[in-house]
Amino acid sequence: MRSQNDIHRFWRRPRRKSRRFKKGARTRIDTQIVEDEREDCRDMGVTKEEVEIALNSSLNPSHLVVIDTSGGCGASFEVTIVSEHFEGKRLLERHRLVNTALAEQMKQIHALSIKKAVTPAQWNPNPTASQQ
């Protein structure tokens, strides 16, 4: 007759083998994937200079700061822009002007953060106070 322990051994599920990779093997694969993604990123993204050229040509800003927040990939940007074209326009209209100026680049850009879109008077409201 079988003992109670034998029955448990018989009905117990077999242990699964560990799914861990051997040391070094996974690292090489991951490294290759990361390098491939970097190459793809360089080929696809929009450069900071392209964004600056598009904004300069359409809005003629007196002050423009473009920051690539995607780490050089060209998928995410922050923009601070001062332009006379914003005079008399609400914030939403200003943002629409920026988005329209970047219409071609927006096809490849994942995120655009417009930090400031202001007129020259709003950018430097009291120039005499800052000089004193």
pLDDT digits (tens, 9 = 90+) for 96-121: 999 999 999 999 999 999 999 999 99
DSSP 39-99: HHHHHHSPPHHHHHHHHHHHH--SEEEEEETTSSSSSEEEEEEE-GGGTT--HHHHHHHHH
Task: Specify the fold of 46-128.
Answer: GMP Synthetase; Chain A, domain 3 (3.30.300)
53: confidence class by pLDDT, cuts 50, 70, 90: very high
Q: What is the mean pLDDT of residues 73-98?
A: 94
What are the beta bridge partners of residue 79?
66, 114
Query: 63: how many CB neighbours lie within 10 A of its CB?
Result: 13
The proportion of the chain whose per-residue pLDDT surpasses 70, expressed as a percent, equals: 62
**pLDDT at 94 exceeding the cut of 70:** yes
Q: What confidence category does residue 41 fall into, taking pLDDT thresholds of 50, 70 and 90? A: low
